[in-house]
Amino acid sequence: MSLILTLSELDGDTLARSSRETLTFARSLADAHGWDLHAVAVGEIPDTAMADLRAQGVAVAHALLHDQLDGDAAPAAIAAAINELHDRLGAGALVGSGTDHAAEVMAHVAARTDLPLASNCTEVAPADGGWDLTRVRWGGVLLEDVHLEADVALLTAAPHQTAAADAVSPGAAELHSFKPELDESLHITRVVERASRGGGISLATAPVVISGGRGVGSAEGFGILEELAELLGGAVGCSRVATNNGWRSHNDQVGQTGTRVAPDLYVACGISGATQHWVGCMSAKKILAINTDPEAPMVTRAHYAVIGDLHELLPALVTEVKNRRGVG
Amino acid sequence: MTLNILVAVKRVPAPGAKIVLTEDAQRIDTKHLGFTVSPHEECAVEEAVQLVGKHGGSSTVITLGPPVAEEQLRTAISMGIDHGVLVETDEQEWDALATAAALTDAIQTLEADGDRFDLILFGNESADAGNYQVGIRVAHALDRPVVSGIKAIEPTDARATMKRAVADGFEVLDLPLPAVAAIKEGINLPRYPAMRGRLLAKKAQIRRLTPQRRDGGMRRVRLHHPPQQQAQTQMLGTGADAAPAVAALFEEVGLL
Ligand SMILES: Cc1cc2nc3c(=O)[nH]c(=O)nc-3n(C[C@H](O)[C@H](O)[C@H](O)COP(=O)(O)OP(=O)(O)OC[C@H]3O[C@@H](n4cnc5c(N)ncnc54)[C@H](O)[C@@H]3O)c2cc1C
Ligand SMILES: Nc1ncnc2c1ncn2[C@@H]1O[C@H](COP(=O)(O)O)[C@@H](O)[C@H]1O
């Protein structure tokens, strides 16, 4: 019997949300084949994460243990370790998340094995001695159905596309340690230093994102968005026009070449809703568009809209929020 | 130390607010569209120009694509890149395995002819396919270190310090050259080509190479649009008068 090996990432002591999504995605393929679901993680796997793996139906969890994998391991080194484990296990498919880190690791796995890698998949099923899968293009604007013919399927799962759900029956989650033999040269691309931006709420995890585009008009114009975001415990985002004009740092950019956000509420101020921006915010639970143009794609696709000048609405809104809070 | 830098870019259509597909669902209908490269690649081009401007050396832009992809090479040259190389294909899109193999061959050809690339810059991902892998495959084939998501490069002697952004800050890497990096938008603000650059670009010689196509194992069946979830937009009012309705929405979603 064969198996599917999934790359799992930890978030503190628990399994990262993206990895839970990826396991749920991989489980559909494991079930279709009648294959066992295995997980592999870098370093020791804490008990809380083991419980998450069990809930996802994982039969065996492999902990990769090696000096070179302590702390900030190089994706190249993690990939080499995964390849060694795969040589031992003979997995039928290797699956990672479409996160920056996991995608980089999976690309190294693919380069080392010279196998095709289908990135950002939303669906996969066995077919004709290979696999039929659907993957994301243009960051999510388009989908592509593909037939993959390879000895081993290498896949990444598109972020925010599969809702994480527990398996009907939990897995045994037997814990195996695996000590790979890694070449010294793989060490070269490890992180040598890490700096925290410190404080602030991260765009990717903020419950509310107040985003501004060309309509904001200037760097100073973002002051009122900052104020509102702070009042609501959220983060400020922006469109590429705001980044390209030097109004905001690219770290704040939402979209295909920026950050994908999935907050409870996304507020798009003076953003037209080009497809490349839309794919960055479409996973929000609710979207509110503030725009002078009732025909703007952002307005027609949003759940809620206010038609008008953001420079008039936002100050009034800040006052209103302060009043309801009983401050100011 | 001077630097020789190669940048890889991919010609892609520049879609607007809605993408239209051809009838056979095999490609985007580009009848009314212009063409561009990914913003990540535009930044990689700008970075090469800035690094060579600062440290001396020379820059080359390479693309694998149909003859019309010359347009993207000339745009890069107009931004200050010195040389252009077209790895010429038919109109078909090549998958990541085939693209990486052909680019590797081309780079080996250029290096055999005397070029030596201290740095090879890729975009973090192509705009259309988003395979997140061509640069890493090429680096493996050339046996050079490679890192992705790079937002700063500082060369020193035979090494380069690079940074990549992560959710709560950034990570620093330190690589021996020659090395390969996949660049992310935000590393710089790409310049708008000046008139002089555009005139130079028109006349620049483009070197052409003919690639071998290897089979990749991935076959496109069709393209399609994701299902639209949202139909009706609820209007909360106009201008400043809408403030109470918006605040009520904040309460409804639990922010207030
Ligand atoms: C490959 C590729 C990747 C890209 N990646 C990204 C990405 O990651 N993120 C991104 O954002 N873009 C990205 N883009 C760019 C994208 O195509 C658009 O150009 C960009 O999103 C437009 O930004 P905008 O909405 O701020 O500006 P515009 O499209 O100019 O829209 C401005 C909007 O503001 C409204 N407005 C003007 N004044 C006011 C006012 N006073 N009050 C209220 N409303 C007002 C207007 O009605 C209009 O709707 C990418 C493009 C390409 C080709
Ligand atoms: N046809 C191509 N020609 C030149 N470079 C390419 C081509 N396709 C991809 N690349 C480069 O590889 C990067 C990653 O592409 P991808 O793996 O498709 O996401 C792109 O940003 C480009 O720098």
- Tell me the pLDDT tens digit for each residue of A166-199: 999 999 999 999 999 999 888 889 899 998 877 6
Are B136 and A257 an interchain contact pair (Cβ–Cβ within 8 Å)?
A: no
> Over 70: is that where the pLDDT of B13 sits?
yes
Q: Which domains does chain A have, with CATH numbers?
A: 3-186 (3.40.50.620), 208-325 (3.40.50.1220)
Q: Please tell me the least confidently modeled range out of A187-196, B66-75, B119-128.
A: A187-196
Please tell me the predicted confidence (pLDDT) of residue B158. 93
d(CA A211, CA A259): 12
* Confidence bin at A22 (pLDDT 50/70/90): very high
**The tokens 């149909």 sit on which residue?**
B66
3-state secondary structure of A293: coil
* Whether CATH 3.30.70.890 fits B3-209: no
Please tell me the predicted confidence (pLDDT) of residue A204. 86
- The residues with which B219 forms a beta bridge, in sequence order, are A147
Quick one: closest CA in A to B40, which residue? A257
For chain A, the residue count is 328
Q: Inform me whether the C-beta atom of residue B225 falls under 8 Å from chain A C-beta atoms.
A: yes
> Over 70: is that where the pLDDT of A327 sits?
no
Q: Inform me whether the C-beta atom of residue B218 falls under 8 Å from chain A C-beta atoms.
A: yes
Are B127 and A256 an interchain contact pair (Cβ–Cβ within 8 Å)?
A: yes
- Tell me the pLDDT tens digit for each residue of A210-269: 999 999 999 999 999 999 999 999 999 999 999 999 999 999 999 999 999 999 999 999
Q: What is the mean pLDDT of chain B?
A: 94
d(CA A170, CA A166): 8
Confidence (pTM): 0.96
Kind and range of the H or E run holding A315: helix A310-325
- Tell me the pLDDT tens digit for each residue of B148-192: 999 999 999 899 999 998 877 899 999 999 999 999 999 999 998
Q: Inform me whether the C-beta atom of residue B230 falls under 8 Å from chain A C-beta atoms.
A: yes
- Tell me the pLDDT tens digit for each residue of A278-302: 999 999 999 999 999 999 999 999 9
For chain B, the residue count is 256
3-state secondary structure of B31: coil
d(CA A70, CA A81): 13
* Confidence bin at B230 (pLDDT 50/70/90): low
- Tell me the pLDDT tens digit for each residue of A59-100: 999 999 999 998 888 999 999 999 999 999 999 999 999 999
Q: Report the b/e string of B176-189 with b at 16+ CB within 10 A.
A: ebbbbbbbbbbbbe
3-state secondary structure of B124: coil
DSSP A198: -
Cβ within 8 Å of B, A 137-196? 137-150, 156, 188-196
> Over 60: is that where the pLDDT of A328 sits?
no
List chain B residues with CB under 8 Å of A257.
38-40, 124, 127, 184-185
Q: Is residue A154 a contact partner of residue A102, using CB atoms and an 8 Å limit?
A: no
ipTM score of the complex?
A: 0.96
Quick one: closest CA in A to B17, which residue? A274
